[in-house]
Amino acid sequence: MTEPDGHTRPLLDQSVLDRLRTELAGDDGVWRVFVQNFMAHLPNRVERLRLTLTTGDLPGALDAVLSLKTSSQMVGAERLAGLAMNLERALREEASHTDPDRVLPLLAAAHLRRIRSCARQTTYLLRDYLQSKPGH
């Protein structure tokens, strides 16, 4: 994902994961469970986002996109968080001035394919990260 300054966000910022691992080092793999839970819930988060967008549920869509953005940021999924931020911005700008039943499905068509693809790629990288760290 290219930012306005021309830089591309990484799929995964491993420094976020390393910091999480360090901060929770004494907690018998809590960091690992946290990352595994993120991966396990990611398909449901994306599906909830799809459902709320395609049904014109603006409050639900905002909640779903915020959940995706926040959880992605917490594990260093920078590109996925950025895609969620872009969708959140579009929801706040476009849907607040127009009929959500009409605009939200259009936003789904414009954003969901990239979000799904990025979610899959991020999951693969997180699995590789977990496998490369001791204690798995």
CA distance 86 to 5: 15
The predicted structure's pLDDT at residue 7 = 60
DSSP 8: B
Residue 41: inside a domain: yes
Q: What is the pLDDT along the chain (136 residues), one digit of tens a residue?
A: 455 545 688 999 999 998 988 888 767 688 899 999 999 999 999 999 999 999 999 999 999 999 999 999 999 999 999 999 999 999 999 877 889 999 999 999 999 999 999 999 999 999 999 998 876 4
| Residue 91 belongs to some domain of the structure | yes
Our count of domains for the chain comes to 1
Q: Which residue has the tokens 């409050």?
A: 59
Going by C-alpha positions, the residue among 34, 27, 39 that lies closest to residue 128 is 39
Residue 88 lies in a domain: yes
CATH of the domain at 105: 1.20.120
- 2 Rama class: left (phi>0) / alpha (psi -120 to 50) / beta: beta
Which tokens in the block code for residue 115? 């979000």
Statement: the pTM of the whole predicted model exceeds 0.85: yes
Per the structure, the complete domain to which residue 115 belongs is given by 28-132
Is 21 among the domain residues? no
Token digits of residue 99: 């009929």
* Structure-block tokens of residue 2: 């290219």
Q: Does 38 fall in a domain? A: yes
| pLDDT for 136 | 44
Cα angle for residues 32, 37, 40 (degrees, 5° grid): 125
Tokens of 80: 């996925």
- The answer to whether 72 and 1 have CB atoms below 8 angstroms apart is no
Residue 39 lies in a domain: yes
Residue 3 within a domain: no
Nearest-angstrom CA–CA distance, 1 and 69: 14
Within-domain flag for 14: no
